[in-house]
């Protein structure tokens, strides 16, 4: 079996090729494999050149295929980089279901090395490798034995002593379908197997609160996930279950999560959730100093556009100076007008005249948490994957009263969904997070809606370091 996804990752990490060139190299190697199934012997390229399917190709294509075979051979025969020559970092982490690494955003600055990561979706894995080039990303399905064994082997080689796992939650989430037999709910079994094989000192598992009340079928029997953890790992690990809200940990967002912390019983202290912070951070604290920003209206001409949002261009220029991700969202006129007439913290469904309407003028029927502005003086509502729409839940900027129009109606600023930059602030993502400039905004928006706020993860690991420091002092 060839490893195209991990080959692409290797090319990303070890060459200066652009994404298009990397994709072409992988495609050429796949073509070579179709002509002659790959085997890791020096004679492979000679045998390939003798095949009729190869000889029929143009000189240019043959040359490109030979180059791709050479690179794949180099990839497959390159040992995992030995990163343990300088073991000044005490904690070495395996990140499972890592996505693009939102949770890991602060760990490197804390002296915590994420040395191995696994993500099934190639696009996410490649972006992860660009953000964290020092981490060895293994792209593939952890339920595949070859991928699982590779994760275990490399984790052992790199002396992993912490596992951080954030398995997909869509099968349990209140905004998902919550299917009882959703196969994603069973991915905790691979986490358990990885803990047994690697034997780390500490384990962090994060999911939605219903994770702790979800049953899955194991060996023909229904079992609650916490009971499964105890039965498989309880003899060797102290297991702490918690349901937390990140707003109590200086994250300006209400986001409830189930957190399971495990400590191997031969350790001298237990890893526990830190105490809650004294202050609640609000929307005003993190984005209240940003200047007003209007949406781009997609279904009107320029004259009408500037009548609705006369300061659009000057505000857009000011926003671009703040961040490349502070980009005006795109909306249609009837939604923008409805939100211009909606005060902070309110839903447009309460407007007598400017309520949400369909294209034919009929009233929209929907939940009261849609077409709804956030509040300034509380943390943000939970960021979801569908965070770019006015018509989805709790997505609209709080806004401020700009003026009273000729009809006596209050007109409110920022009649739009939150920008990606504002979402990053609400998710506690650091300003210097190294996201490549060519990353798709729509892609990032969805990813951020799936993540755990990294500031909370930082505080959990800080508590581990603090406990370890106290032990050393004693």
Q: How far is CA 437 from the centre of its chain?
A: 17
- What is the per-residue DSSP string for 39-85? -SSTTHHHHHHTSHHHHTS-HHHHHHHHHHHHHHHHHHTPPPP---S
Residue 346 has pLDDT above 70, yes or no: yes
The answer for residues whose C-beta is within 8 angstroms of residue 312's C-beta and 6 or more apart is 294, 296, 305, 306, 328
Note the pLDDT of residue 80: 57
List pLDDT tens digits, range 301-332: 999 999 999 999 999 999 999 999 999 999 99
For residue 227, report the phi and psi dihedrals to the nearest 5 degrees.
-70, -35
The answer for residues whose C-beta is within 8 angstroms of residue 306's C-beta and 6 or more apart is 312
Residue 346: active-site member:
no
16 or 66, higher pLDDT: 66
Helix (H, G, I), strand (E, B) or coil at 421: helix
Query: What is the token pair recorded at 279?
Result: 């202050």
Alpha-carbon distance of 462 to 395, in angstroms, equals: 31
Residue 420 has pLDDT above 70, yes or no: yes
Note the pLDDT of residue 85: 43
Note the pLDDT of residue 299: 96
Q: How far is CA 116 from the centre of its chain?
A: 16
pLDDT band at 12 (very low <50, low <70, confident <90, very high): confident
Note the pLDDT of residue 245: 97
Say if CB 8 and CB 23 are below 8 A apart.
Answer: yes
Say if CB 284 and CB 377 are below 8 A apart.
Answer: yes
Percent of all residues in the chain with a pLDDT value above 90, rounded to a whole number: 80
Note the pLDDT of residue 18: 86
Say if CB 192 and CB 228 are below 8 A apart.
Answer: yes
List pLDDT tens digits, range 58-86: 999 999 999 999 999 988 887 755 444 44
Alpha-carbon distance of 467 to 471, in angstroms, equals: 6
Query: What is the token pair recorded at 314?
Result: 């000057």
Note the pLDDT of residue 186: 85
Helix (H, G, I), strand (E, B) or coil at 372: strand
How does the average pLDDT of the chain come out, rounded? 91
List pLDDT tens digits, range 349-406: 999 899 999 999 999 998 999 999 999 999 999 999 999 999 999 999 999 999 999 9
The answer for residues whose C-beta is within 8 angstroms of residue 132's C-beta and 6 or more apart is 101, 104, 108, 114, 117
Catalytic residue selected from 18, 59, 139, 169: 169
Greatest distance between any 2 Cα atoms in the chain: 83
Tokens 């190869």 belong to residue: 54
Residue 89 has pLDDT above 70, yes or no: no
Query: Taking each helix axis from N to C terminus, what angle separates 4-14 and 122-131, rounded to the nearest 10 degrees?
Result: 20
Note the pLDDT of residue 470: 66
List pLDDT tens digits, range 153-176: 999 999 999 999 999 855 444 444
What average pLDDT does this structure show over 418-436?
95
For residue 118, report the phi and psi dihedrals to the nearest 5 degrees.
-135, 135
Element (H, E) at 422: helix 420-426
Query: What is the token pair recorded at 275?
Result: 């105490």
Note the pLDDT of residue 298: 97
For residue 207, report the phi and psi dihedrals to the nearest 5 degrees.
-165, -175
For residue 204, report the phi and psi dihedrals to the nearest 5 degrees.
-125, 125
Element (H, E) at 163: strand 162-165
Say if CB 326 and CB 291 are below 8 A apart.
Answer: no
Residue 180 has pLDDT above 60, yes or no: no
Total-model pTM: 0.84
Note the pLDDT of residue 78: 78
Helix (H, G, I), strand (E, B) or coil at 319: helix
14 or 175, higher pLDDT: 14
Could you tell me which of 464, 451, 456 has the C-alpha nearest to residue 101? 451
The answer for residues whose C-beta is within 8 angstroms of residue 206's C-beta and 6 or more apart is 103, 164, 165, 166, 257, 258, 259, 260, 452
What average pLDDT does this structure show over 127-151?
95
């Amino acid at each position: 079996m060839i490893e195209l996804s991990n080959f692409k990752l290797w090319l990303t990490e070890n060459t200066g090729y652009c994404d298009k060139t990397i994709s072409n190299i992988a495609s050429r190697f796949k073509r070579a494999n179709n002509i002659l199934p790959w085997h890791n012997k020096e004679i492979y390229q000679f045998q390939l050149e003798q095949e009729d399917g190869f000889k029929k190709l143009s000189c240019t294509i043959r040359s490109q295929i030979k180059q791709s075979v050479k690179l794949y051979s180099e990839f497959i025969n390159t040992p995992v980089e030995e990163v343990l020559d300088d073991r000044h970092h005490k904690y070495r982490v395996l990140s499972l279901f890592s996505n693009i690494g939102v949770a890991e955003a602060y760990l490197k600055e804390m002296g915590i090395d994420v040395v191995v990561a696994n993500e099934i979706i190639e696009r996410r894995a490649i972006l992860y490798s660009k953000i964290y080039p020092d981490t060895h990303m293994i792209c593939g399905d952890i339920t595949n034995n070859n991928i699982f064994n590779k994760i275990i082997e490399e984790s052992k080689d790199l002396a992993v002593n912490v596992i951080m796992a954030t398995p997909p939650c869509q099968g349990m989430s209140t905004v998902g379908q919550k299917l009882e037999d959703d196969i994603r709910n069973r991915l905790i079994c691979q986490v358990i197997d990885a803990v047994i094989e690697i034997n780390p000192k500490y384990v962090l598992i994060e999911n939605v609160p219903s994770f702790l009340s979800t049953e899955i079928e194991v060996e023909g029997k229904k079992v609650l996930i916490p009971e499964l953890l105890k039965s498989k790992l309880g003899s060797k690990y102290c297991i702490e279950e918690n349901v937390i809200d990140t707003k109590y940990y200086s994250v300006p967002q209400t986001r409830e999560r189930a957190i399971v912390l495990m400590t191997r019983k031969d350790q001298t202290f237990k890893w526990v959730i830190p105490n809650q912070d004294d202050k609640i951070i609000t929307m005003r604290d993190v984005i209240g100093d940003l200047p007003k920003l209007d949406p781009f209206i997609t279904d009107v001409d320029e004259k009408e556009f500037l009548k609705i949002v006369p300061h659009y261009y000057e505000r857009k220029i000011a926003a671009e100076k703040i961040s490349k991700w502070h980009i005006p969202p795109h909306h249609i006129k009837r939604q923008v007008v409805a939100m211009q007439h909606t005060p902070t913290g309110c839903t447009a469904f309460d407007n007598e005249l400017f309520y949400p309407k369909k294209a034919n003028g009929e009233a929209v029927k929907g939940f009261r948490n849609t077409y709804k502005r956030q509040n300034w003086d509380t943390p943000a509502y939970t960021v979801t994957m569908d965070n770019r729409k006015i018509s989805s839940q709790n997505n609209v900027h709080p806004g401020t009263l700009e003026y009273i129009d000729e009809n006596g109606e209050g007109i409110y600023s920022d009649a739009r969904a939150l920008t990606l930059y504002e979402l990053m602030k609400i998710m506690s993502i650091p300003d210097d997070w190294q996201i490549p400039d060519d990353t798709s905004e729509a892609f990032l928006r969805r990813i951020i809606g799936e993540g755990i706020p990294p500031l909370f993860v930082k505080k959990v690991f800080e508590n581990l370091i603090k406990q370890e420091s106290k032990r050393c002092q004693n």
